[in-house]
Amino acid sequence: MNLIVDVGNTLTKLAVFNGETLVFHQNTKPEDVARQIKEVCDRYPDITNAIISNVGKLDKTVMAVLNIFCAVHELSPSSKKPFKNSYATPQTLGQDRVALATAAFYHNHNGNTLVIDAGTCVTYDMMNDYGEYLGGAISPGLSMRYKAVHEQTSNLPLLQPFEPLDFIGNSTETGIHSGIVNGICLEIDGVIDQYRRRFEDLTVILTGGDAHFLSKRLKNTIFADSNFLLKGLNHLLEYNKH
C-alpha cells in the first residue's frame, strides 16, 4: 500500500492506495498532519511506501513521523518522471503540476489532455499525444478573486462563492458574484476553446477544490475528477520505486 501526502497552500491531503485503487483520503489542517499520519498508518499497517508533495509549508515533524512507518520519497525536480518534460524552466515547475501531468500521461497515454486544477490558483497543464508535457497557464482561483476584490478596495465586502441568478448584477453583492463566477467560467471555457483549436480530440480533466462548483457552469464537455492529483502522485511513487 502507498501513502500520499499532498501539502497544499491551505490544507494537506492524505490518501492511501492499494495498487491503483484509492481506499482512503481526507483533508487535514497543517497542525494535525503528523497525528493524522500516525492514525492512518496504524489503520493501514500494510503501508510500505509514501510520497510527499509539498507546495505549502511542511512541518519537519511530519517527515520524522513518516520515516518511522515506511520508506518516503520526497517529490523534487530530480524525481523521475514518466513523460518528456518540455517546460523551459523545469526546476520551477510546481510539484502539483508535475503530479497532474503524470496523471494525464497515464489516463490518456496516446491522446491530447488538458488538465485544469481549480484550487487556490487555476492551473492549466497540457500533455500531448506524444507523451510530452508542454506547460500551460496559471491564474487566480475563485477564493483568491473574492479576496482580491475585498482587500484591494475600500468598500467592497468579502463574499463566499455563490452562483449568480443573472449575469447582470443589480446590487453590489450580485455584481461581485456575477463578475467573479461568470468571469472564471468564461476564462476556463475560453482557454478550453483555444486548446481545442490547436489540438485534435482533446480530453479535458477538471480537478481541484472548486471543480464541483464550476463543472456544471461550464459550456464545454469535461471530465471532473477530484482525486486526479492524488492519482498522479501515486503513479509517481510507483515510478520512483524502480
193 appears as a binding residue in the annotation: no
Half-sphere CA count of 202, side-chain side, radius 13 A: 22
Confidence at residue 114, expressed as pLDDT on a 0 to 100 scale: 98
pLDDT tens sequence across 188-215? 999 999 999 999 899 999 999 899 999 9
Measure Cα distances from 165 to 172, 178, 186 in Å: 14, 8, 16
Give the pLDDT band (50/70/90) at residue 216: confident
46 appears as a binding residue in the annotation: no
Q: Are 127 and 133 in contact (CB under 8 A)?
A: yes
Q: Are 183 and 164 in contact (CB under 8 A)?
A: no
* Diameter over CA atoms, the chain: 59
pLDDT tens sequence across 32-66? 888 899 999 999 999 999 999 987 777 778 888 88
Pairing of strands 21-28, 202-207: unpaired
Give the pLDDT band (50/70/90) at residue 111: very high
Give the pLDDT band (50/70/90) at residue 26: very high
What mean pLDDT do residues 1-27 have?
92
Confidence at residue 207, expressed as pLDDT on a 0 to 100 scale: 95
95 appears as a binding residue in the annotation: yes
Q: Which fold has domain 2-74?
A: Nucleotidyltransferase; domain 5 (3.30.420)
> 153: Cβ–Cβ under 8 A, 6 or more apart, which residues?
none
Q: Are 118 and 207 in contact (CB under 8 A)?
A: yes
pTM higher than 0.85: yes
Spatial distance between the Cα atoms of 5 and 12, rounded to a whole number of angstroms? 7
Q: For residue 20, how many other CB atoms are within 10 A of its CB? A: 11
CATH class of 84-233: alpha beta
Confidence at residue 11, expressed as pLDDT on a 0 to 100 scale: 84
92 appears as a binding residue in the annotation: no
The SS3 assignment for 37 reads helix
Residues marked as catalytic: 96
| Location of C-alpha cell 523534487 | 76
For CATH 3.30.420.40, the residue range(s) in the chain are 2-74, 84-233
113 appears as a binding residue in the annotation: no
